[in-house]
Structure formats: C-alpha cells, structure tokens
Amino acid sequence: MPKISTKGLQMPASPIRKLTPFAEKAKSEGKTVYHLNIGQPDIETPEGMLNAIKSIDFKVWAYTQSEGTVQYRNKLAEYYQHHGYTISPTDILVTDGGSEALTIAISACIDHGEEVIVPEPFYANYNAFTCLSDVVIKPIQSYIETGFALPPISEFERMITPKTKAILICSPNNPTGYLYSKEELIELKELVIKHDLFLICDEAYREFCYDGKEFISPGHLEGLEDHYIMIDTVSKRYSACGARLGAMVTRNKEVFAAALKYAQARLAPPAVAQIAATAAIDTPQAYFDKVINEYTERRNLLVSTLNKIDGVYCPNPGGAFYAIVRLPIDDSDRFCEWILDKFSYENQTVMMAPATGFYSTPGAGRNEVRMAYVINQNDLKKALICLEKALLEYPGRIVSAKSEKASY
Amino acid sequence: MPKISTKGLQMPASPIRKLTPFAEKAKSEGKTVYHLNIGQPDIETPEGMLNAIKSIDFKVWAYTQSEGTVQYRNKLAEYYQHHGYTISPTDILVTDGGSEALTIAISACIDHGEEVIVPEPFYANYNAFTCLSDVVIKPIQSYIETGFALPPISEFERMITPKTKAILICSPNNPTGYLYSKEELIELKELVIKHDLFLICDEAYREFCYDGKEFISPGHLEGLEDHYIMIDTVSKRYSACGARLGAMVTRNKEVFAAALKYAQARLAPPAVAQIAATAAIDTPQAYFDKVINEYTERRNLLVSTLNKIDGVYCPNPGGAFYAIVRLPIDDSDRFCEWILDKFSYENQTVMMAPATGFYSTPGAGRNEVRMAYVINQNDLKKALICLEKALLEYPGRIVSAKSEKASY
C-alpha cells in the first residue's frame, strides 16, 4: 500500500472537532450535549444577507473574479474605511473563509523551514495551515495569570532568528478572548519594523469587544503599510460560518501579487456568498448592538459562574466569544473525552475543546479547556452545572488547584 | 520592506488568467472579446439546483460537517454508484472545489521535495497546488501528433525514483480533451501497483465524452482500492463553477484520515453549495444529453474550421471542452497578448490561453494555444474568423508550419 505523507501523519487533529465521535455517541445514547467546543454561534444571520441568497437571479452559476467581485470588494473597502482603515478595493483579496486567507498569506510570505512567531495559546488550526507549507511555528507563551496579555517584547526579540519571517497575532483573541491594547500593538509595530518582519493579524472577531473597549488593529497604525497583513472573515461578524467567505488584505503590492497567483490557481471564491456578503455590509448597527449585548451577558454569566466553582479559574475576556478556563484536572484531553463518554448529569453533558491543542509547547494547557459561549444563557447555565458536577466526579481531579487560584 | 517568499515570487502566473488586463483594455477600447481562454461554460445551471438556493430556509448560516453534510455525501455516493464506482459516503470528503480536493490529496500523500509524475501538457494550476507544498512535478510529454495519448509506460517507468509518490492524470483531459482508454488505464494500474504509487485522477469532465465513447476511470478497475484518489467537482457537470464545491474520494482509509485533518482545520465546505449540489444529483439525463449534444457540435465546428486554416492543426478531442491547437506562430505568449492588444477584426478579438503554461518542459507548447469551446456556435464562428485573420497579420508568423501539418 502506498505510504501517506509524513506531515499528513504527524499533523495534530483539530482539538475542536476531534472529540466529535464521543459527542455523537453521547447523543445516540439520548444525552443532551451542550457544545462549548466550537465557535459556531446560535445568533441569527442578518435577514438582508439571507434574503440576498433567496433573491439570486443568475442562470449560470459562474466563476467570479479570482480576487472577488468588483461589487463586493468596493463594498468591503467602504466597510474597512468606516472602521478606520486606509484600505482600497485593490488591497482586498476575497478568499474561501479566513482559513484560506491565512494559508495564502503564509504561502506568499514564508518559505518552507522558515519561521513565524505566534503568542500561545493560539487558534489550533494555525498548526494545519503552517504544516501545509512546512512553515515552523515558534510559540511564545502567554499566561492565564495576566489574562493572556501580550508577552514581553523582549521574549519576541529573543525568539527572532534569520529564519523568522513574520509574527502572527489574533485580536480579539481566539482562544483566550484577550483584546490587544494600542500600547501592545505599538510595541509590536516597532519590533516588526526593526527586524523587517510581516505582522499578520487575524481579525475574525473585530466586532466583538466588550465593556466599551475599542478594537485597535495594526492596520490602524501608520508606518506598517508594507508589514501588515489582515486576515478577515464574515463567519463571526454576521454569524455566517457556512458562507466560507474571508479576505486577505494588504497594502504591500508584492505580497498581494504573489497572493493573487495562488488565488487565480484556485480560480475563485464562492459566488453566492459574495452576493450575500455584499448585502450584509448594510446590516444596521442595531443588529450588532443586540449581538454584543447578548455576548456580554453570556460572558458575564460564564466568568462569574466558573469562578465560583471550587478549583476553577477563568480570566475576564475583553472580546471574541471564547475563554480559556483552568480546571482542577490532570489532563484536559482525558477530561474532555471522559465528560462526553462516561459522565452525564440529568442526561446532559458538555463538549469542550482541550486547551493542549492550542499550545505547541509540550505539556502546556493540560489543565485548561477552551469554551465558546455561543449557546443561549439558559443552556449555558445548564452546561456549567454539568461541568461543576463532573469536576466532583472526575477521577483525575487535582485538589491543589484551589490554592493556586487563591493567589490571583 | 519584508521580503515575500521565494516560492511566491517564482510561482508562474495562471496562463488562463494572466492576460486578463489586456482583455480588459481591449474591452475598454470597445472591442468584443471572445473568451476561449477559460473553462467557464455558458451552459445554464440546472433549474433544480438554482431553485434549491432560492429555497433555503435556515436562520443561521452555520458550518456544516468538515467532510460535508450527511445528506450530500449520501446523495453523491448514490451518483458514483450509478456511474459504476464502489464508493460509500464515508469515502467522500467534500471540498472547496476540485482545487482544494487536489491540494488536500497532495498534502495527505506527498511530502516536500517528493515527486508526482504528470503527463504534459497538464492543467496549469497543478503547478500552484504542488508549489504550495514544495512538491515536485515530473512531466512526461505527450504529443499533438498522437492526439495527446498516454505516453508509453516505459517513459513513466524511466521517470520513477525513490522520491516518486504518485502519478496524476486528468481524464477527459484538460487541456487536451484526450479521453484515456481502458487499456491505457490498465497499464497505469499495473505500474502503480508494481511501484506502490498513488494514482490521482482528476475527473472534472467525466460527463463530457463524445462520439458515443464511454468514460472509464481508474476507480472502475479492481485492485486499486488503496492507490486510487479521485478529484471531482460540480463546476463543469452542472455548469456551477461559482459554487466552489468539489470532492476528494478514496477508499484508502489512511489517506482519508490525513485528508480529514486538513479538512477539519479549514472547518467546512460552503453550506449553500452543498444544499444546491444535493438537489443537483436529481438532474434529469435529458439535461446532460442536450449539453453533450451542444458541446459535440461546438467541437465539430472548432476542429473542422481550425484544420482548414493554413498552418493550423487541431486533433479531435474525445472529451471535456478544450483543445490544444498548433498555430503557425513563433511564441504563443506573445501571440495571445498581441491578438488582444494590437489586433482587431471588425472590432472583435479572441482571448486564448498560451499552451506554454500547460507544459513544464522549457520551450514546449510555444506554438500551441488552449481553446475552451464554451461559447455559442455563432460566437465561436466569429472567434475563429478573427483568429484566421489575425494569423495573416501577426508579425511572428512562421510559414514552415504548413508543411509540418501535411505530414499527419
């Protein structure tokens, strides 16, 4: 039998989806499973976007331009300008989701064996996108104690080698919910200019900032025109994950030209999604106000409830809809499997993503899980009761975690 | 300024799309441009498929399963079974177009620096998909004189090294229109079994076989269960290029497991396209009969007209909707640019794809172009008149080509 590739063999499975068989088994046994594992919001997609799908009037479902339709790129540039960026339609490459935007950005900027520095924990799928091109992730650990703030710039500087091509950040952060401050971004700006690196910023959660905090992007800072590459998506903004529509945005013409070649090779992004996303730009602010209010309430519920559970610690995320939560457990992979497979409370259980998959430092995240607060508050309450009960029963419970928590 | 990647710099631009600026200039000057450059059919998408888009009734445009929805995979398996394959839903990975199917197949099977053998001319974008992973294409030239039949197996055998992991074919072929025979596939089967290689087959044009010829796939041969990987797409079958929906199909469980990890990382294929493609499986045979009849007439018109032009030679393609055509010219890149930029006949001109981009052997294809017969017969006639007039005016015309033609 022919052998598969070494990288195909070695690539870690997604921590977000790998426990799906256990969730399916639990459901087949009649259990209700609360999904906190995946960033699939229950929020309704804007009506204007769905109506645009229903109103298509073409006879031939044709390719669009490889870089995206003129209509959508014009509209999207308006959206960015409204959000304080200096971006024109020709800086925008429309992609098959944020995933492809990042894959293309990596291929355009980084050769195999070269390095990208990423604060960890980081979005687990970055591993796959770099693995595809044999690019090496160099992690810099951030810590739950500081709410996962940007690690000291000296740590980044220490990590830079002749092979370093880029720094990749995500703000508001998936999986931590941390929202980078303007001061942190200015520090990063000076660093990437000094060392001539790309600064790739995954901004999938731009809209979701809480407590009146303002979202700041490296794209808002002057002097980064050649360094800054934005990864964007409509998935979370409009609760349209199934659209598979993203964008890679850069004012660096060389990066854009190389990225366009990859985009031309895969022909075009999805056509109907572009029609819908063009309509979505006119979504009224009231839609976002309502959604942000809902996520804020969920976050408050999640964080306050978790911190009342013995041995559990959850920092207060400033954005996105995730939290990394420390649990009094021996091994998050084992715990997340156990809670689906062996546990139930009133015939319910919870699916979470083990945090180990969001770290590349061996051993890190073993007592942490990622939770996505994408289910309604009633279900969220029930899920957290399940978790509390499960922690009491779990054979791998570590009792010392409580005293650690007391030190914050 | 940070430097882009070497591969991003070196990757060739798509020969199908790189002349677009010249076509746009010609149009802005008021010229009619006949597009024979790109496989974008003018055929209408089946009504049932478009109605399925208009009838969506979800409120949240959610991710589907990474491997595709249960409904679509079940329906698609039925389609394959109807076409003589032994394929079950769990052998099917639904992808973002045939492009992603091939990218994922390559990543699952071939490491960087390893090799895949491809008969050339080949679909130009294979260069990009291999470049992404630093996989090396080893071309084996096929020739216009034999209508681009499979090169002798001894040629393949000569090319196999310890780094060879796969053979990649496309049948019916893009760009040549050649339809591989059962005998040729049996030869390839014996070869891949002998050398333990994957046999990847791009079957985007399965439906389009002419003159009563039957399509045969390596998937129809027994004994290739572990070797055969099918690349498929709905783009051409239903004239639904904008759907961006394909599939990677294999009964090799190891390949599937590795491919699924990549698929999980990019989350999911487009949701609306899957709903539409599920409906499309019920497209009546009458739709295909009509389309195949239309393509046959176009092919007959194209081939007979071209072969009457002084110095031009076009073999008779058995399938797909492309032909590689030899022209009495010095350089197909120069000619294809010139005809858009400097030439017009009654204010019309033609866009073609220079064949050089479909070869990786340096210098090959310099007197050939790829034509896609995806426009109506009336326009096709006008396009071919333009071409004939252009060849008389083109400063780089080579007169000796006529005598070469006489030898066939």
**Could you say which residues from 46 to 65 on chain B have a Cβ atom under 8 Å away from some Cβ of chain A?**
49-50, 53-56, 58-64
- Contact, B272 vs A272, CB < 8 A? yes
Task: List, in sequence order, the alpha helices (H) in A139-181.
Answer: 153-159
Which chain A positions have a beta carbon within 8 Å of B130's beta carbon? none
Cα(B304)–Cα(B402) distance, rounded to whole angstroms? 16
Of B17, B97, B134, the CB nearest to A264: B17
- Which residue in this structure is represented by tokens 């007197």? B367
Per-residue pLDDT of B321-374, as tens digits, reads: 999 999 999 999 999 999 999 999 999 999 999 999 999 899 999 999 999 999
d(CA A28, CA A115): 44
Which single residue is written with the structure tokens 């007592």? Answer: A367
Q: Could you tell me which chain B residue has the CA closest to the CA of A96? A: B96
**Ordered domains of chain A (ranges, CATH):** 6-44+286-406 (3.90.1150.10), 47-280 (3.40.640.10)
- Render each residue's pLDDT in chain A as its tens digit; 408 residues: 999 999 999 888 888 888 989 999 999 999 999 999 998 899 999 999 999 999 999 999 999 999 999 999 999 999 999 999 999 999 999 999 999 999 999 999 999 999 999 999 999 999 988 988 899 999 999 999 999 999 999 999 999 999 999 999 999 999 999 999 999 999 999 999 999 999 999 999 999 999 999 999 999 999 999 999 999 999 999 999 999 999 999 999 999 999 999 999 999 999 999 999 999 999 999 999 999 999 999 999 999 999 999 999 999 999 999 999 999 999 999 999 999 999 999 999 999 999 999 998 999 999 999 999 999 999 999 999 999 999 999 999 998 644 444 333
Q: Are A195 and A221 spatial neighbours (Cβ–Cβ below 8 Å)?
A: no
* Yes or no, beta carbons of B56 and A53 under 8 Å apart: yes
Q: How many CB atoms lie within 10 A of CB B1?
A: 12
CB atoms B61 and A242 under 8 Å: yes
State ipTM.
Answer: 0.94
Per DSSP, A244 falls in state: -
State residue B402's pLDDT score.
Answer: 46
Residue of A nearest to B54 (CA): A54
At which residue do the structure tokens 């497979």 appear? A341
Q: How far is it, in rounded angstroms, from Cα A231 to Cα A352?
A: 25
Q: Is B371 helix (H, G, I), strand (E, B) or coil?
A: strand
Which parts of chain B have pLDDT scores under 50?
A: 401-408
Is A41's Cβ below 8 Å from some Cβ in B?
yes
Q: What is the largest CA-CA distance in chain B?
A: 66
Closest residue of chain B to A198, computed from CA coordinates: B2
- 3-state SS class at A329: strand
Helix intervals (H) in B85-199: 97-109, 126-132, 153-159, 182-195
- Residues of A with CB below 8 A from B248's CB? none
The answer to whether A348 touches A386, Cβ cutoff 8 Å, is yes
Would you state the pLDDT for residue B400? 65
Tell me A138's DSSP state. Answer: E
Alpha-carbon gap, residue A122 to A167, rounded angstroms: 12
Which residues, other chains included, contact A74 with Cβ-Cβ below 8 Å and sequence gap of 6+? Answer: A89
In the block, residue with structure tokens 């409830």? A305
Q: Which of A59, A108, A244 comes nearest B8 by C-beta?
A: A108
Residues 310-339 of chain A whose Cβ lies under 8 A from any Cβ of chain B: none
CA torsion sign, B252 to B258 to B259 to B264? positive
In chain B, residues with a C-beta closer than 8 Å to the C-beta of A125 are 264-267
**Contact state of B60 with A54 under an 8 Å Cβ cutoff:** no
Q: Which of A18, A99, A165 sits opposite B266 (nearest CB)?
A: A99
β strands within A277-402, DSSP E:
322-326, 348-351, 353-354, 368-372
Q: Looking at residue B16, what is its pLDDT?
A: 84
Smallest CA-to-CA distance from A174 within A113, A245, A247, A235 is with A235
Q: Beta partners for B329?
A: B397
Calpha distance A208→A204 (Å, rounded):
9
**Which residue is it, tokens 């087949």?**
A28
Buried b (16+ CB within 10 A) or exposed e, A102-139: bbbbbbbbbbbebbbbbbbbbbbbbbbbbbbbbbbbbb
Two tokens, residue A225 = 């025109």
The pairing of beta strand A136-141 with beta strand A115-120? parallel
* Token pair 């951030």: residue: A142
Handedness of CA A253, A254, A258, A259 (dihedral sign): negative
Is some CB atom of chain A closer than 8 A to the CB atom of B72? Answer: no
Whether residues A241 and B268 touch (CB distance < 8 A) is answered with yes
| End-to-end Cα spacing for chain B | 55
C-alpha angle B268-B269-B272 in degrees, rounded to nearest 5: 120
Give B 154-213 residues with CB within 8 A of chain A: 165-166, 192, 196-198
| Distance (Å) from the alpha carbon of A45 to chain B's nearest alpha carbon | 5
To which H or E segment does residue B351 belong?
strand B348-351
**Helix, strand or coil, per DSSP, at residue A197:** coil
Quick one: pLDDT at residue B12? 84
CA–CA distance from A19 to each of A82, A176, A363, A390, B377 (Å)? Answer: 40, 20, 19, 17, 54
Residue type, B64: T
Strands A228-233 and A198-202, by their bridges, are: parallel
> Closest by alpha carbon to A341, among A65, A60, A33?
A33
Measure CB to CB from residue B258 to each of A8, A108, A258 and give the nearest one: A8
